[in-house]
Amino acid sequence: MAKSNKIIQVQRIPISMFQIDDEDYISMTDMAKGKEGNSRAADIIKNWIRTRSTLEFLGVWEQLYNPSFKVVEFDHFKSQAGLPSFVLSPGAWIEQTGAIGIRVKLGKYGGTYAQKDIAFEFGSAISPVFKLYLIKEYQRLKKVESNQFNLEWNVKRVLSKLNYSIQTDAIKDYILPKSNYTKDTEWLVYAEEADLLNVALFACTAKQWREENQKFALKGKNLRDIASINELAVLSNLESSNADMIRDGISKLVRFQKLVQIADYQIEILNKQDFLKSIKKLSDEGYLAANHKNELPE
């Protein structure tokens, strides 16, 4: 799934980026505009992509990372490279070879985008100096994002543990004594109560999520690992509310109905007020200040 655009400044040229499946794509169109202006940006990209050295680079990249790449069509393009009559657009390259390293994006931030490795290579067509500073600014942005991620991860870690023991104690004191589960199977009760909250908040059980998200599950991730800060805050509140209802002897069905109402209400409120927004804003401002301070000489 594509994530929203970010902007980096390279030699005072704003260059947009977006992300697909954790891969960063950088705007070749913005890079070309910075060199020759709007009118010639498309021509610069076409002239670059039609050369033999570029095609060989793109072909190797696709064969390394794209199992669906059409090698036969690629070989045809490579055999035509260098001929005066040979022309190639990014759209034709993508359509005929099934390439994924270059994307054509429509809409507000429309243009031709390239996966970061390819974008850095294209940077050489602008100038070697431009390429170096493109890499530098990209690395700075990733460092800022890493700091934000670490902060968010730490907050998630705290929230995921908050009130968990309250629910487990309520299960141990009020449900297990009345159940027929043995010592070896009582873990099922804890799992059932955890899934009661999962379904109330995420509309699926942990098992259902794993089956539908095998890519994340294979990396050891679970449903709560990929939850947002707001969802984890609500989850913590649900654990506390569920523990109170367990102590009051309320049936599982009634508890579930109340938990759904609480989850819907709290998520709606929290989504209107993202408490990390101010922290991220400060971090972004720090990045912009550092970027301005370290502007490149012309």
Domain residue ranges of the chain, discontinuous segments joined by +: 2-126, 149-279
Give the percent of the chain with pLDDT over 90. Answer: 43
Q: Given a cut of 70, is residue 152 above it in pLDDT?
A: no
Long-range contacts of 100-104 (CB under 8 A, 24+ apart): 100/62, 100/65, 100/66, 100/68, 100/69, 101/58, 101/61, 101/62, 101/65, 101/66, 102/28, 102/49, 102/58, 103/20, 103/25
What value does the mean pLDDT take over residues 260-275? 84
**Residue whose pair of structure tokens reads 């429509």 in the numeric block:** 106
**Torsions phi, psi of 68, nearest 5?**
-95, 5
In the predicted model, what is the mean pLDDT of the chain? 83
pLDDT by residue (tens digit) across 68-80? 999 999 999 999 9
CA-angle at 287, arms to 284 and 292, nearest 5°: 125
Give the percent of the chain with pLDDT over 70. Answer: 83
Q: Given a cut of 50, is residue 34 above it in pLDDT?
A: yes
Instruction: Give the type of residue at 155.
Output: V
Q: Given a cut of 60, is residue 298 above it in pLDDT?
A: no
Q: Given a cut of 50, is residue 10 above it in pLDDT?
A: yes
Is pLDDT larger for residue 132 or for residue 278? 132
pLDDT at 281: 46
Q: d(Cα 280, Cα 145) in Å, to the nearest integer?
A: 9
The number of beta carbons lying within 10 Å of the beta carbon of residue 192 is: 13
pLDDT at 105: 85
Q: Given a cut of 70, is residue 27 above it in pLDDT?
A: yes
| Model pTM score | 0.53
Is pLDDT larger for residue 155 or for residue 227? 227
pLDDT at 279: 44
pLDDT by residue (tens digit) across 156-202? 666 666 667 788 888 988 898 888 888 888 888 899 999 999 999 99
pLDDT by residue (tens digit) across 41-64? 889 999 999 999 999 999 999 999
